Structure 1
Amino acid sequence: MDVYLLILGDHLPNPCSGGEVSESDRLRMIVEQAVVAEEAGFTGVAIGEHHFTRYIVSAPELLLAMIAARTSRLRLSTGVTLLAHHDPVRVAEELSTLDVLSGGRAELIVARGVSQRTDEAFGVHDHLRARFEENLRLLLTLLAEPHVTWRGRFRSPLEDVTTVPRPIQQPRPLVWIGSGSAASADLAVDLDLPLMLPSTLRDPDTHLPVVERYREAMGGRGRVALPSHMFVADTAASARARWRPHLEAYANFADMWRGDGEPDVDAIMEGAAVCGDPAEVAGRLNDLAHRMNLDAHLVMVDIGGMPHSSVVETIRLFGEEVLPHLTGTRVASTG
């Protein structure tokens, strides 16, 4: 099983101290955390895209390029790219450029997004699902083929277009569909793409019907990944005490997208979020991997104004004491 570090980049004050780092420091911390993740043996890093909120990463490709320059092995993914809002020609060019610069380590997770404000600001007023699907089909063609001639519904036609540079990975870099809906799972099956479940702080079991639908339709092919909010410390009591205020601050902030009402942090910590000492965290992640039939896990540590030092400490402890005990996980060499 592959393990990625997922970073969405919320820019919230520390609920314990009230302190808040600058935007520039926050973005630099994300790069540093990815570098530490490679040292700790993670498979890759995934960095999210958001607009007009206190998630401050609006151009994850730029951060991934910085990370590429400071790492040699780490897989580099968006988490996610809001593909209905972007020109697939430009996305193909950016992904291929990252792939070339990183020596063939670029990936992409694409999704439709959930913010109407973002839709309106980018001029996407209707037919969001249809735009997403058309853009995705064109993107996959551009990544895999030169001399593309294409006609579609939502953008101008292409005539003998070859995007450059061409990606190193053949036939193209890995592209995931990010969603927990049956419609997106069906699209993933149709396009023979892996499925990335959402990071919503909901009980992972709510995604089981979609996973089962995808797995049955793929007939033994395909891959499924799950994001999990995670914190590990030397003792379970310390982990819960240190993480709870940050998880609560983040859950309250993210509730507008979860839509579940006031969050029950204790229930989240026992369900969607994984928190404890190394043995407990490894056991719960292994249980999730078995129950959800996962091929990859994305763990999200940096939330709710957590101090950078605590995030780095957790990433290192996870690499030393948790990764070696995850079922089916090959700990990457740091040499």
Structure 2
Amino acid sequence: MFFAGSVPADRTDRYRLVHDAAAAADRLGYEAIWLPERHFDVFGGLFPNPSVLAAALAGTTTRCHLRAGSVVAPLHDPIRIAEEWSVVDNLSGGGRVGLSIGSGWNTNDFVLAPDRYETRVADSRASIAELRALWAGRRVARRNGSGRTVEVAIQPPPLSSELPLWLTASGNPDTFIAAGRLGTNLLTHLLGQDLGELAGKIKLYRDARATAGHDPGSGRVTLMLHTLATADDAQAWTAARAPLRSYLRSALELELRASAGGGRVSGGRRLALPALSEAVVEELLDERTRRFFDDASLLGAVPKCLAMLEAVAAAGVDEVACLIDFGPSRQFVLDSLNRLAPLARPEVEGAVNVGTP
């Protein structure tokens, strides 16, 4: 499962769904809990640093993997990323940590590192080599406070011998190819691309893995999908329409903001969006909300969810990360996880991993 991180109305217990859903995932046999990194917005606003919550969940779960999706690497030194997640690895007993690395695109996030915005793609990919080296116990060179170059290793050393890594792709084909060349797994979504386009980009990823000498079949493609499994499709539409529309409004506003600054690339194409009237925005949001519900989500009754899982598997997806941060109540979301859990099991024909056993 994947927490998209919209800030809930309940100010007294904002992280209760995170804890309750993580406990349910651990019990029901889901494979992983994904924790995103913040935007300075209600979109992702609960997660300023995914390692903090991962450390908390390490003590309350026993088997679920704890993954960051995504660490915006240009905002952090790889030493800090590696040492924080090594702590989580130690707290969780080893073998449960994984990271997806993103370059970032929201300009406001870069108040933390404004000089790295223009070089963010190159910086994020360069960080992967250092993360692998640090996790393996090797040292990296840095200048210290007196201007001398020194070599440092992380403390504490991780328990796990390897750090599973994903590269986050918004839809740009170049990112899929880069993930293949780097030999990482791949994390993506259906904002700005449909399943047909995604299938073609997954082929680019597999081909790039083979060309770079990596096993083309060993990389894992993870797809984020909004999820609410209900008794029937109408119930899901009633429950999900308003929060999904709010989510898509936040995403659109971030797109427009980044487009105005020349920073957003969607599906490999730079957006050049004019100023939109509120009426046009509302119409666009209505269309996007309906399309996402029908064609790009696990929102609905179990048969609809299963059909979607079969479709994404046919496109080459190996694992679905269920975006579960909305619903009319916390219990409604937990009931959805119970309904969906059987679809994660290998004996269900056509099922792919949904944070699976």
| TM-score, reference length from structure 1 | 0.85
1:241 to 233, 238, 248: 238
Deviation at 1:216, TM superposition (A): 1.5
Residue 288 of structure 1 pairs with residue 312 of structure 2: yes
Cα distance in 1, alignment partners of residues 30 and 228 from structure 2: 15
Q: Report the equivalent of 2:134.
A: 142
Residues 1:157 and 1:295: Cα distance change in structure 2 (over 3 Å)? farther
- Give CA deviations for 1:156-193 in whole Å, capped at 9, x if unaligned: 986332212222221x2211111132332232222211
Q: Are the equivalent residues in 1 in contact too, given 2:320–2:353 (CA < 8 A)?
A: no
Q: Report the equivalent of 2:323.
A: 300
Deviation at 1:38, TM superposition (A): 1.4
2:292 to 255, 263, 268: 268
Residues 1:115 and 1:330: Cα distance change in structure 2 (over 3 Å)? closer
- How many residues align structurally? 313
2:36 to 45, 48, 51: 48
- Aligned to 1:110, the other structure's residue is in SS state strand
Q: Report the equivalent of 1:323.
A: 344
Q: Are the equivalent residues in 1 in contact too, given 2:73–2:101 (CA < 8 A)?
A: yes
The range that moved more, 323-332 or 55-64, is: 323-332
Q: Report the equivalent of 2:168.
A: 178
Q: Greater RCO between the two (CA within 8 Å, min separation 6)?
A: 1
Q: Report the equivalent of 2:113.
A: 122
Residues 1:158 and 1:323: Cα distance change in structure 2 (over 3 Å)? farther
- Give CA deviations for 1:230-250 in whole Å, capped at 9, x if unaligned: 211122222222222222222
Give 1:85-104 correspondences, 5 Å limit. Answer: 85-104=75-94
- Give CA deviations for 1:208-244 in whole Å, capped at 9, x if unaligned: 3321111122232322111111211122222222222
- Aligned to 2:175, the other structure's residue is in SS state helix
Residue 309 of structure 1 pairs with residue 331 of structure 2: yes
1:187 to 154, 178, 187: 178
1:110 to 97, 101, 105: 101
The one-letter code matched in structure 2 to 1:318 is L
Gaps of 5+ in 2: 211-215, 257-272, 274-280
Gaps of 5+ in 1: 13-19
Q: Report the equivalent of 1:81.
A: 71
Q: Are the equivalent residues in 2 in contact too, given 1:274–1:284 (CA < 8 A)?
A: yes
Q: Are the equivalent residues in 1 in contact too, given 2:132–2:163 (CA < 8 A)?
A: no
The range that moved more, 201-210 or 134-143, is: 201-210
Residues 1:158 and 1:328: Cα distance change in structure 2 (over 3 Å)? farther
1:21 to 10, 21, 30: 10
Q: Report the equivalent of 1:17.
A: none
Deviation at 1:8, TM superposition (A): 2.0
The range that moved more, 210-219 or 194-203, is: 194-203
- Aligned to 2:2, the other structure's residue is in SS state strand
Residue 223 of structure 1 pairs with residue 199 of structure 2: no
Q: Are the equivalent residues in 1 in contact too, given 2:142–2:152 (CA < 8 A)?
A: no
Q: Are the equivalent residues in 1 in contact too, given 2:180–2:207 (CA < 8 A)?
A: no
Cα distance in 2, alignment partners of residues 39 and 302 from structure 1: 19
Residue 33 of structure 1 pairs with residue 21 of structure 2: yes
Q: Are the equivalent residues in 2 in contact too, given 1:142–1:162 (CA < 8 A)?
A: yes
- Aligned to 2:228, the other structure's residue is in SS state strand
Q: Report the equivalent of 2:152.
A: 161
Residues 1:63 and 1:151: Cα distance change in structure 2 (over 3 Å)? closer
2:47 to 51, 57, 65: 57
The range that moved more, 117-126 or 189-198, is: 117-126
Deviation at 1:25, TM superposition (A): 1.2
The one-letter code matched in structure 1 to 2:341 is G
Cα distance in 2, alignment partners of residues 272 and 39 from structure 1: 27
- Aligned to 2:41, the other structure's residue is in SS state coil
The range that moved more, 65-74 or 127-136, is: 127-136
Residue 250 of structure 1 pairs with residue 247 of structure 2: yes
Residue 7 of structure 1 pairs with residue 28 of structure 2: no
Cα distance in 1, alignment partners of residues 238 and 354 from structure 2: 31
The range that moved more, 310-319 or 117-126, is: 117-126
What value does the CA root-mean-square deviation take over the aligned residues?
A: 2.5
Q: Are the equivalent residues in 2 in contact too, given 1:8–1:49 (CA < 8 A)?
A: no
Residues 1:53 and 1:312: Cα distance change in structure 2 (over 3 Å)? same
- Aligned to 1:231, the other structure's residue is in SS state strand
The range that moved more, 81-90 or 119-128, is: 119-128
